[in-house]
Amino acid sequence: MSVVETPTTRPAAKPPAAHVRPPKKSRNRTPWLLALPALLLIAGLLGYPLIRMVVLSFQNMRLRELLSGRTPPWVGFDQYSKVLSDGVFWAVVGRTVAFTVASVLISVLVGLGIALLMRRVSRGVRLFMVVAMMFVWALPQLVAAQIFRWMTDSDFGVVNYLIDKIPGVDYANHSWFVNPWQGWSVITTLVVWAGIPFLAITLNAGLTQVPKELLEAATVDGASPWQALRNITLPILKPLIMIVTTLSVIWNFGLFTQAWVLRDGHPEPSFQTLATYSYTQAFGQSRYSLGSAIAVITVLLMLGVMVFYIRQMFRIGEVE
């Protein structure tokens, strides 16, 4: 099993020439001038709002202040203590985390499975799979969510109709959002369904980087397909899996559209995520400061994952 020792650590097909002669660091002003417009825009529309968000979370801004333009009263850490001492908030956090873990795990496993399956099927079938996935991938998130809302409608939805066809099962007028577990399984299905194309196609592309000779040699040596997968394929694929998993975590943690649309723009408490919760507090209930405090906490919660992602990007040499 000496073959196992040779995984390429760099899955990206990198143009080799780019590194031939790293030029000396210059004190030239040109690069800064080039980057300046982008940096200014980022500072103005991402950096400044970020600061303002933090400032806002220490004030108490309501509709009255919004309409009159008056300075909202300063309240120190009141918004935070209000949020952090609220059981509802912690339930939302727990729900968001649980959903993220479950949906990412399912998406990545299914995505990997499909990627492997794509290596095994005939060319025509593979093409069919890719085309199907492309369509799903290309669908705007909102449209996808609307479709699922329509399909799971309790009165006219095709899902109930089909399940009801199974003998002995009464799913006529079944409401999918009575039971949060069922409701969340609809949302998770939607998220996984929409996420698979990106994962499967990316991972499949990664699989093409696994040297064929290595796998063939292993098979000749009597390794089972499972052993080959575990000892050859997965180690080579690992950096890529890390990246797509981290990205999925970041996306799914910020779940908004799907919960929002499937619950018709007013998610019940059991369907609130951090994103919808912050949004409804701010824009629904005009508690702009409370919403900001929740957003600040959300960003802080995400920080660990972000740092991990950036470190990964540096490690696999994406950042040179």
Partner 1 sequence: MVAIAPTVKVKRRRAKADDGVLTVGRSRAGTIAANTAGVVFAVLMLFPVYWVLNTAFKPADEVLALEPSFFPQHPTLDNFVSAFKAPLFLKDMLNGVIVTLLAVAGALVVGFLAALAIARFSFYGRKAIILVVLVVQLVPFLSLLIPLFLMLQSAELTNSLIGVSITYLVLILPYTVWTLRGFISGIPRELDEAALIDGCTRAQVFWRIILPLTGPGLVATSVYGFIQAWNEFIIINTLNSPDKQNLMAWLLQNQTTRGTAWGPLMAGAIITSIPVVIFFLIIQRNIATGLTAGAVKG
Partner 2 sequence: MKRKIAVAAALAATLLGVAACGSNDDDAPTTSASGKVDGAGKTLKVWLMVDAQTAWKGVVDDASKRFTEATGAQVNVEYQQWANHLTKLDATLAGSDVPDVVELGNTEFPKYVFSGAFSAINPGDYENSSSWLQGLKGACDFEGKTYCVPYYAGARVLIYRTDLFKSAGIAAAPKTYDEFLTDAEKLQAASKDPKFGAVYMPGQYWYAAMSWVKSTGGEIATQDGDKWTGQLSQPKSIEGLQRWVDMVKKYSKADPTKNENDQANTFAQGTAAMFYGNAWEQGSAEETKKDPNDPNSVLVPTKVKGKLAAAPMPEIPSFLGGSNLGVTEKSQNKELAAQWVKAFTDSTSMAGLVKANALPNATALLDKAAADNPAIAPAALAAKNSWFPPNAEKWADVEKGAVLQTMLTDVLTGKKSVADGAKWADDQINSTLNES
Among 10, 14, 19, 70, binds partner 2 (CB under 8 A): 70
- What residues between 224 and 253 interact with partner 2 by CB under 8 A? none
Q: Taking the complex as a whole, how short is the minimal distance between the CB of residue 2 and partner 2, in angstroms? A: 53
For partner 2, which is the closer residue by CB, 225 or 284?
Answer: 284
Query: Using CB distances below 5 to 8 A depending on partner kind, what does residue 240 bind out of partner 1, partner 2, none?
Result: partner 1
Q: Taking the complex as a whole, how short is the minimal distance between the CB of residue 155 and partner 2, in angstroms? A: 5
Q: Taking the complex as a whole, how short is the minimal distance between the CB of residue 80 and partner 2, in angstroms? A: 16
Q: The tokens of 22 are what?
A: 């790293």
Query: Using CB distances below 5 to 8 A depending on partner kind, what does residue 170 bind out of partner 2, partner 1, none?
Result: partner 2
Cα separation values, 89 from 14, 43, 96, 275, 279, Å? 45, 30, 11, 12, 13
For partner 2, which is the closer residue by CB, 4 or 147?
Answer: 147
Which residue type, as a one-letter code, is found at position 169? Answer: V
Which residue type, as a one-letter code, is found at position 75? Answer: V
Helix (H, G, I), strand (E, B) or coil at 134: helix
> At CA 48, angle to CA 42 and CA 54, rounded to 5?
135
- What residues between 245 and 264 interact with partner 1 by CB under 8 A? 247, 250-251, 253-254, 256-257, 261
- In angstroms, the first-to-last Cα distance of the chain is 33
Query: Distance (Å, rounded) from C-alpha 187 to C-alpha 205?
Result: 28
Q: The tokens of 149 are what?
A: 């809302």
Q: The tokens of 316 are what?
A: 């696999």
Do residues 232 and 210 touch, judged by C-beta distance below 8 A? yes
Among 66, 134, 143, 162, binds partner 2 (CB under 8 A): 66
Any contact of residue 166 with partner 1 (CB under 8 A)?
A: no
Q: The tokens of 215 are what?
A: 């796998």
Q: Which of 33-41, 126-134, 168-176, 231-239 is the region at the interface with partner 2 (rule: CB under 8 A)?
A: 168-176
Contacting positions for partner 2 (CB under 8 A): 48, 51-52, 55, 62-72, 154-155, 170, 172-173, 175, 177-179, 264-266, 268-269, 280, 283-286
